[in-house]
Amino acid sequence: MKILAIDDQQLILLSIQKKLTESGFDVCISETGDKGIVLYEQFKPDLVIVDINMPGMSGLDVVKHIRLNKGDDTPILILSGNTDEQVIVDGFDLGINDYMKKPVSLNEMAARVDRILGIRNLPERRIPVKTNQILQQYCVGIVIPCYNEEERLSSAAFQQIATENLGYHLCFVNDGSTDNTLEVLNRLKEGNEDRISVYNCEENGGKAEAVRQGMQHLAKDKQFDYLGYLDADLSTDFRDFDELVRTLENSEFKIVSGSRI
């Protein structure tokens, strides 16, 4: 069966695509509503998953196109951080089948998809469950400056945060290291390219300069709602970032300071 997922944040899209592909679905993704409509016509999905708040054509506009313009009853699941009651009611009035509020676990999302499509979760369809994989309400870019961190970066902690924290993109900045830090970082990125990037500074300029360059690098990617930084010793828990994001949600400031706030 075919599923079309539409969301303006690549981190969310790729996580959805990976989970549903592992569950046996043919998944097509789009980062805009306009492109999503084109893919909808071409791909002819059995289910559409769409975000609400997107630049240009919103998720509700996509729903209107499918339900009103096309008169199509293809199942629609809204997956959004928008908790406005009227928006949710408007979605159901337009004929959506379900509304899931971020943050939400990938496992729950997959279960809702199965329910909408009338698929029984038979043993042969089950795959190993990865715990704590949550689709966050926001996408956060995290800069981690690294200078001669070869041994520390080899730990399992970094692999764990790369797989469990789906709402975060980690940008490791190699600050002119003289050991094998850059090689270790590139290995760490393998298989996690959507959630890990490596920015290389050939000369050591100090932590502040490494953070500055990493921030400038991430700022070019429009999918991030917030930017922050961590020390390579991971002295700040990622839950602290979640708390900071909630605090700054209604603020005009979009820079979050992480370790040793």
Q: Which CATH homologous superfamily contains domain 138-248?
A: Spore Coat Polysaccharide Biosynthesis Protein SpsA; Chain A (3.90.550.10)
CA angle 4, 11, 57 (to 5 degrees): 50
CA nearest to 146, candidates 259, 11, 10, 261: 259
Residue that has been written with the tokens 């850059």 in this structure: 182
Cis peptide bond prior to 55, omega within 30° of 0: no
What average pLDDT does this structure show over 150-171? 72
- What does the mean pLDDT of the chain come to? 84
CA angle 191, 152, 184 (to 5 degrees): 40
More confident residue, 5 or 126: 5
Residue 230 has a pLDDT of: 82
CA nearest to 198, candidates 229, 221, 169, 219: 169
Residue 158 has a pLDDT of: 64
More confident residue, 163 or 83: 83
- Quote the CA–CA distance of 105 and 115 in Å, as a whole number: 16
Residue 99 has a pLDDT of: 96
Name the band, by pLDDT with cuts 50, 70 and 90, for residue 243: low
Residue 155 has a pLDDT of: 60
Does residue 52 surpass a pLDDT of 90? yes
* pLDDT tens for each residue of 94-131: 999 999 998 888 999 999 999 999 986 544 454 455 55
For the chain, what is the radius of gyration of the CA atoms? 20
The domain ranges of the chain are 2-125, 138-248
- Quote the CA–CA distance of 16 and 22 in Å, as a whole number: 10
CA angle 162, 163, 169 (to 5 degrees): 40
* pLDDT tens for each residue of 9-48: 888 898 899 899 999 999 999 999 999 999 999 999 999 9
Q: Which phi and psi angles does 178 have, rounded to 5°?
A: -100, -5
What average pLDDT does this structure show over 74-90? 93
Name the band, by pLDDT with cuts 50, 70 and 90, for residue 236: low
Q: How many CB atoms lie within 10 A of CB 50?
A: 27
Q: Which CATH homologous superfamily contains domain 2-125?
A: Response regulator (3.40.50.2300)
Name the band, by pLDDT with cuts 50, 70 and 90, for residue 178: very high
